[in-house]
Structure 1
Amino acid sequence: MKRPVWIVGAVALLVTGLTGLSTPAAQAQSGGVDPVPGLPVYLALGDSIANGQESAPRIVDYATTVAGWRANGYVAQFDAVLEDRLDCLPAQSTNARTGCKQLQIVNLARSAVPAMNGQPERPGVTTQTVIDEQLPVALPMLQARNHDANPRNDVEVVTLTVGGNDIFGPITSACLGADPRGCPAAIQTAFTAFSGRYSTILAELRAAAGPTTPIIAMTYYNPLPYCYIGQANPGAGAFADWFLEGGTLPGLGTLPVGFNDLIRAISAQNGARVADTFGTLGAGDFLGGTDCLHPVRSGHTKIAADFVKAMFG
């Protein structure tokens, strides 16, 4: 089946992304996976959005570009608020509650990694990637810090942004092609597979973090109206709204539960809060053009505000 060119472009962008940090050693140069013992931690997991992609201009030097993304993305912006507002001191006196200035970021997220230094390319992060690459680092850290006798070294907050790469490709291909008859089955297959893996991630994070550690999961926004896909096909925005939030769309029918509804439900089942970004970002918040996924810094600032709302109300 031949698909319109804008659909193929969407799949490529949403699934592959651009760049990222390929090893823990490389990640350590831009935030670290080996935090200082005895000090509190903010732990972030996820895909290129959590990696801050496009939150800062690209620079010729690869490492500097990625470092700029990670320094300006929503994780870094949320961390700045946590340092100011989070009480992470195990002290009874209100005078001792002066924020969490020594909070360390451990950001395990990455973007897709191009072939470089003799290593093959690595595609964008999916829920399976989090299970394979990020949980083996996150879970021992949570177990060691949150279950020892020292409350000052705890992982104080965990955030999770993942799932877009699981579902955009197969659902877009099946539903927006010349023959959409396979759309319902494709949605069911993608949603079922995502739900199982997402449940595993949140359940394991909750067990390792303990019952009271805040875990905040992110829903997804709709970027398609703000890039060439929406310009070429005005119906693409409505399709993404439908698939993210559910409802009825002429020609495709009724979707009782959208992708973001799955994130909300699975989060609730595991005692996780939700940073709901759907409808938050708009014109001017995306890189646009041929990039139909990534926010610029203003978009990351709005995402950070959604995390602040989920954390502090």
Structure 2
Amino acid sequence: MRPIARRRTLVAAALTALTLAAAGTVPAAAAQGDHGGRGGPHRTAYYLALGDSLAAGYQSTPDGGHVVGRGYAQDLARTLGARAGRDRRPFEFTDLGCPGETTGTMAGGGCPYPHSFTGSQLEAAVAYLKAHRKDEVLVTVDIGANDVQRCAAGGSLDLPCALNGIEQVRTGLDRILGELRAAAGPRTRIVGMDLYDPFLAAWVTGDQGKALATASVQLSESLNGVIASVDARHRVPTARVAAAFDTGAFEPTVPLNGQRVPLNVARILQWTNMARGDIHANDTGYRVIADAFLAELPKQYPN
């Protein structure tokens, strides 16, 4: 999902790993992590977050500014890091998410937001995974929103644009997951994610908004169906974010700001910043997304 501002600096360790990988050298942390069998107190657990502004943790602020690095990936990293710490295991988190990324730019380069890696995000991710082939690595992927979100701009839905965007997601995500799978080691877990529908917020703007909100759910279901299908083809579980946000639930209605609105509309207005026109999740929404990813992992992961 596309914001407008500068990107935060990536973790220095990530840059080191990518540089060494490009030179054909396995980082010391990866080599050391190979000792001790399948788990053990000294084996490092790694988490790599990939995707767009949701992976980057972008949020607008009430004063018209923004923050990055405060999203689901950070929430998930805190939970996994705490679990690893209880087992006396080191934990490393790397976030390559680039705001504005589409499936095309993720694979081919050209993310419009400043970023530290050269080439494409996919190339950087592949180098990271090759450097950590023997390690326990979790990879989360969210991508596809920017391929279609422009199709609902201006208060109406451009159906040909939407169908073309969904097809771009089908082919682009297939390439992305294929290359990630090829680079990943046997102890790498890749988890994808479907998407909530920010355009449900249009419901509260009147009859035309209700029509847009209704149509947007149909678009969301089509897009999420494609994401789930491609994920399954690559044996990647899909975090069910749309279900967590009750995206299809126009019933029941619930109270919100002195009126009654459908449950799915309330979720969007309470769990994202759409009340001020920002499609990104807020702290509550990002926690819901993190929990959807956790639901696709073993209860004690990493173990």
State whether TM-score is above 0.5: yes
Deviation digits for residues 109-158 of structure 1, max 9, x if unmatched?
A: 122xxxxxxxxxxxx11112211221111111111211xxxx4xx25100
Aligned pairs for 1:248-267 (under 5 A) are 258-267=222-231
Aligned pairs for 1:1-313 (under 5 A) are 16-21=2-7, 26-28=9-11, 32-34=14-16, 37-38=28-29, 39-54=44-59, 57=61, 66=67, 69-70=68-69, 72-85=70-83, 98-99=86-87, 101-111=89-99, 124-131=100-107, 132=109, 133-146=120-133, 151=134, 154=135, 156-169=137-150, 171-172=151-152, 176=156, 183=159, 185-226=160-201, 229-232=202-205, 233-245=209-221, 258-281=222-245, 282=267, 283-312=269-298
8 Å CA contact 2:200–2:216 kept in 1: the answer is: no
Q: 1:280 and 1:110 mapped to 2: Cα distance?
A: 24
The structure, 1 or 2, with the larger RCO (C-alpha pairs under 8 Å, 6+ apart) is 1
8 Å CA contact 2:200–2:217 kept in 1: the answer is: no
Give the Å deviation of 1:211: 4.7
Give the Å deviation of 1:287: 1.3
Deviation digits for residues 132-189 of structure 1, max 9, x if unmatched?
A: 221111111111211xxxx4xx2510000110000121x3269936xx6xx2x43432
C-alpha root-mean-square deviation of aligned residues, in Å? 2.9
8 Å CA contact 1:43–1:155 kept in 2: the answer is: no
Q: 2:80 and 2:45 mapped to 1: Cα distance?
A: 11
Structure 1 residues 190 and 225, CA, compared in 2 at 3 Å: closer, same or farther? closer
SS in 2 for 1:19: coil
SS in 2 for 1:50: helix
8 Å CA contact 1:45–1:130 kept in 2: the answer is: no
Q: 2:163 and 2:210 mapped to 1: Cα distance?
A: 25
Structure 1 residues 41 and 220, CA, compared in 2 at 3 Å: closer, same or farther? same
Q: 1:103 and 1:291 mapped to 2: Cα distance?
A: 36
Q: 1:300 and 1:312 mapped to 2: Cα distance?
A: 20
8 Å CA contact 1:17–1:48 kept in 2: the answer is: yes
Q: 2:166 and 2:274 mapped to 1: Cα distance?
A: 27
SS in 2 for 1:201: helix
Q: 1:312 and 1:100 mapped to 2: Cα distance?
A: 18
Give the Å deviation of 1:19: 2.5
Q: 2:278 and 2:288 mapped to 1: Cα distance?
A: 17
Q: 1:193 and 1:174 mapped to 2: Cα distance?
A: 22
Deviation digits for residues 231-263 of structure 1, max 9, x if unmatched?
A: 321222211211111xxxxxxxxxxxx100111
Give the Å deviation of 1:213: 1.8
8 Å CA contact 1:214–1:273 kept in 2: the answer is: no
8 Å CA contact 2:148–2:161 kept in 1: the answer is: no
Residue equivalent to 2:112:
none
Give the Å deviation of 1:301: 0.4
Paired letter, 1:82 = L
Q: 1:173 and 1:59 mapped to 2: Cα distance?
A: 24
Give the Å deviation of 1:83: 2.2
Structure 1 residues 37 and 136, CA, compared in 2 at 3 Å: closer, same or farther? same
Q: Tell me the number of residue pairs that the alignment of Structure 1 and Structure 2 aligns.
A: 240
SS in 2 for 1:44: strand
| Unaligned stretches of 5+ residues in structure 2 | 18-26, 30-43, 110-119, 246-266
8 Å CA contact 2:203–2:213 kept in 1: the answer is: yes
**Which deviates more from structure 2 when the two are superposed, residues 36-45 or residues 236-245?**
36-45
Percent identity, aligned pairs only?
A: 23
Structure 1 residues 20 and 307, CA, compared in 2 at 3 Å: closer, same or farther? farther
8 Å CA contact 2:147–2:169 kept in 1: the answer is: yes
Give the Å deviation of 1:203: 0.6
